[in-house]
Amino acid sequence: NAGVMQNPRHLVRRRGQEARLRCSPMKGHSHVYWYRQLPEEGLKFMVYLQKENIIDESGMPKERFSAEFPKEGPSILRIQQVVRGDSAAYFCASSPKGRISGANVLTFGAGSRLTVL
Amino acid sequence: AQKITQTQPGMFVQEKEAVTLDCTYDTSDPSYGLFWYKQPSSGEMIFLIYQGSYDQQNATEGRYSLNFQKARKSANLVISASQLGDSAMYFCAMREPFYGGSQGNLIFGKGTKLSVKP
């Protein structure tokens, strides 16, 4: 009965490299959300996906960032040509259905901490 | 625009005492939901409690209760009988309205770091 699994937990990249963060939602959950947490800040929404579809990417930077949730396998958050400002904790959350509510709360993973040197 | 404010960067409480963590929010939408999450040093975000804007009673979950004052737009978290394991960051969050294509994503405050003293 695993929860939301994220890997890697820690990732170090040099400027200009690519970072790939993976998220496997809870069993039975088909809705995946990605949030970013900068130091000393709360989480900020990036993107919301269902299987094979991006539903809302209003919080995603227009360049270098992309996300996918294929039919098979985990959701991937991809950051190309990383810069120091990308250093943050990236959290994935999942829910059994859309429309977050008290009956449909987000379950978060432990996060992936990206450090850009 | 929706906004969540947590004005206490850090709080201390003695073990076994109660503590209140403040949260105020701003929204013009009559339908909204408020959440509290706990983030221990290990990093994961743990859901604690939920309050809907139309709920008649304040939410309670074990030692957690929510002091919901709608007119003041506040949703303070009360932790009774604090334990050492309660030491963590606590985040208040509000769900965005369901329109404009939004599925109700969460807007988080900056958090309050709670330290429980033995």
- Cβ-defined contact of A102 to B33 (cutoff 8 Å): yes
Q: Does B105 touch chain A (CB under 8 A)?
A: yes
> Which candidate from B46, B98, B110 shows the least CB-CB separation from A42?
B110
- Report chain B residues whose CB lies below 8 A from the CB of A98: 103
**Of A84, A78, A87, nearest to A39 (Cα)?**
A87
Nearest CA distance, B49 vs chain A (angstrom): 8
Nearest CA distance, B45 vs chain A (angstrom): 6
Q: What are phi and psi of B86, to 5 degrees?
A: -80, -10
Per-residue pLDDT reduced to its tens digit, A40-80: 888 999 999 998 899 999 999 999 999 999 999 999 999 99
Per-residue pLDDT reduced to its tens digit, B12-47: 999 999 999 999 999 988 889 999 999 999 888 999
Contacts of B71 (CB under 8 A, 6+ apart): none
